[in-house]
Amino acid sequence: MTQRTPIIAGNWKMHNTITEAAALVTALTKAGNKNHAEIIVAPSYTSLHIVTRLTKDSEIQVAAQDVHWEDKGAFTSAVSPIQAKDAGATLTLIGHSERRSVFGDTDEILNKKVAAAMRHGLKVIFCVGETLQEREAGKTMQVIEGQLKNGLANFTEEQLNGIIIAYEPVWAIGTGKTATPEQAQEVHAAIRAYLAKTYSDKFAQATRILYGGSVKDTNVDEIMAKPDVDGALVGGQSLIAEKFARIINFN
């Protein structure tokens, strides 16, 4: 861990009814926060409003899981940044691997989504990561650099100030197969080096890089101990209050 304020974020994906989301977040408001981490939850759109209401007097911040690139229009089923903000989100994930692989979000689309989120003052958690095949072909950093270069194209360092990067190796998501702390550190350090080369050392040092992929109460401590790991983006275990509370209060 470093001087950078740690972030523990829970991506609830397509889980939880409004009632379940309310119960979960209410439990989390009592979880404590011994590391003074930034705590973020990303509920489904249907629960954004209630979760925002229930976290009003807490440290928990609320993120959308995605936003559309237009402010409004004929885009059946999509949610615009204005709507996500209106429902209470102050951040949004962009480029989660499930958006890329299941819904076909391309780098170009993601770049437009980042622009839309920033235009409306939503803080962006931009997700990157390689598949197992890409890792085994030795292409991990080539893939990630491409995702960063194209997804964040045309923005200046000033515009990207405050952006959060999440490294989520696709092979570790929902598989129970976690990257080792060393594998995570290696990629995080390479991402930071890329940010330094592309923007500035100051920007690279200030940017938080989260690890995601089968983070659990039992492995969070060793992952968070790595110098370039500034936080965790948690899927499955963020749905279980006691587990996520333990992750928030990592050692």
For ligand 13P, the nearest residue by Cβ is: 235
Run of H or E residues at 221: helix 220-224
168 forms part of the interface with ligand 13P (CB under 6 A):
yes
Helices 18-28 and 45-54: crossing angle in degrees, nearest 10, is 40
For residues 224 and 233, which CB has a smaller minimum distance to ligand 13P in the complex?
Answer: 233
Strand partners, 231: 7, 210
Amino acid, res. 175: T
227 binds ligand 13P (CB under 6 A): no
234 scored as a contact of ligand 13P (CB under 6 A): yes
The residue assigned the tokens 């979760």 is 51
The least CB distance from residue 237 to ligand 13P, in Å, is 6
Closest CB to ligand 13P among 162 and 174?
Answer: 174
Please pick, from the candidates 84, 117, 236, 244, the single residue that binds ligand 13P as defined by CB under 6 A.
Answer: 236
C-alpha span between 135 and 144 (Å, rounded): 11
- Whether 222 is catalytic: no
Using CB under 6 A, count the residues that bind ligand 13P.
13
Calpha distance 144→130 (Å, rounded)? 7
Q: Which stretch binds ligand 13P (CB under 6 A): 54-62, 115-123, 190-198, 213-221?
A: 213-221
- Of the candidates 164, 98, 167, the residue with the CA atom closest to the CA atom of residue 130: 167
* Residues at the site binding ligand 13P, with contacts judged by CB under 6 A: 11, 96, 168, 173-174, 212-215, 233-236
